[in-house]
Amino acid sequence: MKNDEDILQAEIVKWYNNTYCLKFHSTPGVIFSVPNGGNRNKVEAMKFKATGLMAGVSDLIVILPTGLLLFIEIKTPNNTQQPNQKEFETIVNKLGFQYHIIRSLKQFKELIWQNLK
């Protein structure tokens, strides 16, 4: 069963893909998720970790048509970051990239429009 964060994330991906990632766009954007969550058996978990899975990575990574890179963490209004997510945010910010906690589709749209100006 999907939780509220999954539903919001799906809405965001659908909107961004339909608005900025279609083939007719001269420079399409990119949005993709990082499959950090879920339950895995020990063998799967070891394989994912050995091949680069990193705890705390943002839920979405967005590349705007302008080339700007955004790291997006999806949270419901009452949910907060885990310690490893805060660590990842710190690393991203130190590297000079944008990290945002998004709590609604409206907030995500506004972020995209601001960064495309």
Q: Domain 4-116: give its CATH code.
A: 3.40.1350.10
Q: Which residues pair with 47 in a beta bridge?
A: none
Q: With the CA atoms of 57, 103, 11 and 89 taken in that order, what torsion angle do they form, in degrees rounded to the nearest 10?
A: -20
Contact indicator for 31, 21 with CB cutoff of 8 Å: yes
| Interval 17-67: pLDDT, tens | 999 888 787 888 999 998 776 666 778 777 877 877 788 999 999 999 898
Would you list the domain boundaries of the chain? 4-116
| Interval 86-117: pLDDT, tens | 999 999 999 999 999 999 999 999 999 999 98
